[in-house]
Amino acid sequence: MRTLFRTCLALAGALALAASPLRADEGMWMPSQIPDLAPQLAEVGFHGDPETFTDLTGHPMGAIVWLGGCTASFVSPDGLIATNHHCAAGALQYNSTPERNLLRDGFLAKTRADEVSNGPGSRVWVTVSFTNVTDAITGAIDPGVDDLERHELIERRLKKRTAECENDGLRCKVASFFGGLEYYELAQLEISDVRLVYAPAEGIGNFGGETDNWRWPRHTGDWSFFRAYVGPDGNPASYSKDNVPFHPRHWLKVQPRGVAEGDCVFVVGYPGRTQRHYTYEEVRTIVDWTYPSTIRRYREQIAILEELGAGDEALQIKASGRLRGLHNYLTNRQGMLEGLVDGGILARKEKAQKELVEWIAADPERQRRYGHVLPALAALEEATVATRQRDEILEELLPPLSYRRRTSRASYVSVAHTARLLAAARPEEDVDRERGLQERDWGPILETQERMERSLDPRIDRALLRWAFRRAAALPAEQRIRAIDKLVGLTPGMVEADSTPAIDAWLDEAYAATKMTDESFRLSLFEMSTVDLDAVADPFVGLAAALDPLYQASREAENRTDGAESRLRPLYVQALIEMADGPVAPDANSTLRVTYGQVKGVDGPDGVYWKPFTTLAGIEQKHTGEGEFDAPVAELEAIEALRKGRETPYAMESLGDVPVDFLSTVDTTGGNSGSPTLNGKGELVGLLFDGTYDTIASDFLFDPVRTRSIHADVRYLLWVMEEVDGAGHLVEEMGLD
């Protein structure tokens, strides 16, 4: 095995290099691409062996794990896992009651016997292999098949390859890279017994709340700890008191000295989605329609949930996951829209596409290969306009299968519809079932149903369904959802206010008659056939059945479009790669990536410079004792003791204080939450948790000068654990005395 990185030097002149074309720290790179970036890595001060990153089962890559939405890492030989506080929100909510509100007060297991289950459906995935399978997925496809047949053929190959991969406890997926130009198979060990070990109180883990979200300066202690458990034989097993801690082959060493300004850092994780290879027309649609509509929806839903939860702590706990997600995405989409329009990214995308068109036209061979691609992609985008208002509401009611695993999005109608989809899929051969409804998915589907008991509530469900119905009432005549019109008595031309009496009458009757409030009834639906479901006299089972034909028609249209895109998108991205004449990172797709950069401040608003570190002094300044800025008494007392002379090894001499958070130039996005921040020796120096509002839109076009990511400093983490929360036993477990 290769020796890890030799060193990562802070360059005295590093800050002067920001304008150099090679200095842009852009790229969520595939590990296999890192050796090709040796010159760029040297420029930020890395002098180790880039080949180290290509060994996914070695150090440090083998210590990085996925939580199915967040990244995390092993930090002890006994399966202790570090991630963000907001990545533990689901586990905290699952284990909370009004009498024991972990979301507010935090949690610490003093012994391993005190560690509590994260709940059904919680997973840790450990990557064991990453294989190019492009030929098996898109090779030798008859160009004469129509778009729907092409989609179905690729889907069948994806399912076949996945099934062949899954054995010996592995969970596999095949992911598309470069718009379908390449496909890679990701094999992971799936651990299903995951337990909550430690999360600080809300006044630390979410200090600043939505006011500071996506902002700098930041003073948030965004960390938490889980532990992975397996059966006594060492193999993955469902939760049992007899299970034992998982012993990973690799775990990260924590470096208590942290980092300094100018140091090079790496972030390794599973970034979710970026859109840098979108066409101009696709980005234009997002600016003109998608984001403005999304912002309106999120604002309206937030208002509904906040009004419902006022004065009712139990309801607040149930709605907490959905509400926090809505707030986070609202701020994100607002920042995206501002960056795309006011920040000039849309105009830059248009300019870049014109340059691509000119580059294609300049060569007859390029014109032959690529000349038809952009007009054809633009036509596909234009075709979505005709039904987009209807489709948006339908997706609220019946979200994509991947979203139905998020219990915060659960509703009575989506539960009933998932049961209907499963009933229709069950008689088929497994390879013919839709992905998400195969036998490999049945266990996770049922776990989701069990878990959602902690978040489903008829008051929340009714309020959000009422909102969706009122929006459906205002749809134009050509986009009506006929099933809702027929059931509720809506007609074209209605506005939301005019529809309210009819909607309220239907809802009153439906919620009085439904059995969906009973968990055993909901679970029984998943054992029924389609014929059995048709005989169930429940308004939400009936609503799901009535909406299903439109859902199926929409899915077929999407599949046909996907088939067309599978011909065009690879050619489009291939043209971008050829024109770039250098390394190009694929868009993020929730697979393991590496990004690098430096610890560095940046110019903020006019006349303001954002320093790269914040400190405990900022917590003192922001603390009000109320709402989002209510630091725990124990923390304030520990800060006071520090001010009076108590020594700590976690103070940074150049700051004269304990650092809290820091900025770096690494390129990250959603899904990177919880990703370990590593120094040049592969040691843990922080946890990535956010970006800055003014450059959120770098998901579409990277800003090489201003883009910054925000990390929780490991020194703040260790100081709080030892001086505030009494978690010294975990510090010792991580190998620190």
Which among 82, 298, 27, 31 is positioned nearest to 197, based on CA atoms?
A: 82
User: Between vectors from CA 343 to CA 342 and to CA 346, what angle results, nearest 5°?
Assistant: 90
Q: Is 554 a catalytic residue?
A: no
Residue 224 near residue 103, CB atoms below 8 Å: no
Q: Who contacts 735 (Cβ-Cβ below 8 Å, separation ≥6)?
A: 76, 253, 254
CA 85 vs CA 195, 350, 561, 675: distances in Å: 14, 39, 39, 12
- Paired tokens of 190: 């799936």
Q: Is 327 a catalytic residue?
A: no
If 0-12 CB within 10 Å is exposed, 13-18 middle and 19+ buried, where does residue 160 land? middle
Give the single-character DSSP code of 289.
I
CA 291 vs CA 211, 285, 288, 296, 333: distances in Å: 21, 9, 7, 9, 6
Q: Is 86 a catalytic residue?
A: yes
- Paired tokens of 431: 């390879």
- Pairwise CA distance, residues 489 & 469, whole Å: 11
Q: Who contacts 444 (Cβ-Cβ below 8 Å, separation ≥6)?
A: 121, 405
- Pairwise CA distance, residues 27 & 271, whole Å: 11
List the catalytic residue out of 673, 675, 698, 709: 673
Pairing of strands 71-74, 170-177: unpaired
- Paired tokens of 250: 């690799």
Q: Is the dihedral of CA 620, 316, 104, 450 positive or negative?
A: negative
Residue 391 near residue 557, CB atoms below 8 Å: no
Helix pair 539-580, 388-397: axis angle to 10 deg: 120
**At which residue do the structure tokens 């092409």 appear?**
150
Which among 474, 476, 500, 475 is positioned nearest to 488, based on CA atoms?
A: 500
Which among 612, 659, 728 is positioned nearest to 220, based on CA atoms?
A: 659
**At which residue do the structure tokens 């003014």 appear?**
694
Residue 721 near residue 223, CB atoms below 8 Å: no
- Pairwise CA distance, residues 21 & 695, whole Å: 19
Q: Is the dihedral of CA 237, 238, 241, 244 positive or negative?
A: positive
CA 447 vs CA 405, 406, 422: distances in Å: 9, 11, 14
Which among 612, 10, 589, 29 is positioned nearest to 267, based on CA atoms?
A: 29
- Paired tokens of 2: 């290769």
Which among 196, 223, 218 is positioned nearest to 207, based on CA atoms?
A: 218
If 0-12 CB within 10 Å is exposed, 13-18 middle and 19+ buried, where does residue 13 land? exposed
- Pairwise CA distance, residues 285 & 385, whole Å: 9
SS3 letters across 61-74: HHHEEECCCCEEEE
**At which residue do the structure tokens 């999120």 appear?**
298
Which among 559, 535, 533 is positioned nearest to 548, based on CA atoms?
A: 533
- Paired tokens of 644: 């009076």
Residue 473 near residue 495, CB atoms below 8 Å: yes
List the catalytic residue out of 59, 85, 86, 219: 86
- Pairwise CA distance, residues 708 & 689, whole Å: 11
Residues linked to residue 170 through DSSP beta bridges, in sequence order: 189
Burial 209-241 (b: 16+ CB within 10 A, else e): bbebbbbbbbbbbbbbbbbbbbeeeeebbeeee
- Pairwise CA distance, residues 170 & 186, whole Å: 10
Residues designated catalytic: 86, 222, 673
